[in-house]
Structure 1
């Protein structure tokens, strides 16, 4: 099983848009189609497909919030490919790709504090909770470089 991150273009955007999470996860993750539209109109947004071998199985979108900060806004693995370790490998690859950004000082991610898996998963990569977002809905966690 070979996991990689690939650019999204006209050759693979449709299968990426068809990826979906479980019904229980739908409240936690925006749809990939919306994320691709959003990124098309915002140059600070980067989208990547998560591939397992030669098939897209997941999606990332991160945003350059400032010269020193990037936030991971979207991260999902299709419901048919979850619990296989794909998310762990893909997140490690995404963090490494993000770290290549010049002048970067922090990587941020947010998640619903009611999501039972998120805190332990993200903390295993070095994300430390810093409190709720300005809307009081999502937990913010950061890696400081």
Structure 2
């Protein structure tokens, strides 16, 4: 099983839009189609499909907030592919790609505090909680480089 991140293009965007999370996860994950629309109309939005071999199985979107800060806004693995280690490898690949930009000093991610898996999962990558966002909806966590 080879896991890779690939650009989203006219050849794979429909398959990425067809990916979905489990019913109980829907409140925590935005729709891939909406995320792709956002990325096309906003500067600094980067999208990647998570591939397993030659099939798209997940999605990432991160945003260049500033010269020194990148925020991961979207991260999902299809409901039929979860619990196989794909997300862990994919997040490692995404972090490596983001860290390859020498000006980046902070990588931020956010998640719902009610999400039972998120805190421990992200902490395992070195993300440290920094507090709630301005709206009080999402927990923010960062890796300082």
Superposed pair shares fold, TM > 0.5:
yes
Which residue of 1 is the match for residue 69 of structure 2?
A: 69
Could you tell me how far apart the structure 2 residues matched to 1:65 and 1:126 are? Answer: 20
Counterpart Cα distance in 2 of 1:104 and 1:9 = 26
* Paired position in structure 2 for 1:93: 93
TM-fit CA distance, 1:102: 2.7
Runs of 4+ deviating beyond 6 Å:
none
Tell me what 2:28 maps to: 28
Match of 2:17 in 1: 17
TM-score by length of 1: 0.99
Written as runs of structure 1 = structure 2, the 5 A alignment for 1:100-111 is: 100-111=100-111
CA shift, 1:42, in A, is 1.0
Pairwise CA distance, 1:101? 1.4
Query: How far did 1:64 drift?
Result: 0.1
- Determine helix, strand or coil for the equivalent of 1:66: coil
Gaps of 5+ in 2: none
Q: How many residues align?
A: 145
The whole-number CA distance in structure 1 between the counterparts of 2:100 and 2:35 is 23
Cα distance in structure 2, aligned partners of 1:105 and 1:21: 31
1:68 and 1:132 map into 2 onto residues whose CA distance is 20
Q: Shift in Å at residue 10 of structure 1?
A: 0.3
Q: TM-score, normalised by structure 2?
A: 0.99
Matched, 1:6 2:1: no
Provide structure 1 residue ranges, at least 5 long, that are not aligned to the other structure: none
Hey, what's the Cα distance between the residues in 1 that align with 2:123 and 2:116?
A: 13
Aligned-pair distance for 1:90? 0.1
